[in-house]
Structure 1
């Protein structure tokens, strides 16, 4: 499910990003976040994803903002996330755009205030 490259502060998440794996996902994200000032998270080969993952991700983005850290989240299948954002009513909390290479999409949290 996860692959951490601590040297470059990169974390790759794949497989089932669901409530059943929420604690493990939280632990992996928190570890990556604590060990780097600007961690990068890559979401690839996702088999299943649910709203619990979006809640975890948004919480991490809010925490990063409070601590003046920058977190980058990339996904290779933006349509998968778009569908979940709309279905769960989260579309006002995230923005998805192509990264500089054009191969992945960057997921950004929208923070008010």
Structure 2
């Protein structure tokens, strides 16, 4: 009568996976999310007051987002855009630049 070998095979597989995890080389840093400054220091400065809905900011204090996916956003609907103002991610009117909603803090410029 033969005994099943699957418990031994499972233990051997577990040992192999454990050894592989212990001897694996270090993983490289994630690429593509480097911080690129595209505005003056005030647009990413969290010490600035939180922007409010309806504010009209000077153009030199706004960083218009060109790659919303890097911030976890989809492409904005027609007539809208995203920007970083005072260290916060905001949704703006594409025509006049008024802030329509404040989404969340964004202490770094990613695009």
Question: What's the TM-score once normalised by structure 1's chain length?
Answer: 0.23
Greater helix share, structure number: 1
- Name which one, 1 or 2, has greater alpha-carbon Rg: 2
Name the structure, 1 or 2, with higher relative contact order (CA <8 Å, separation 6+). 2
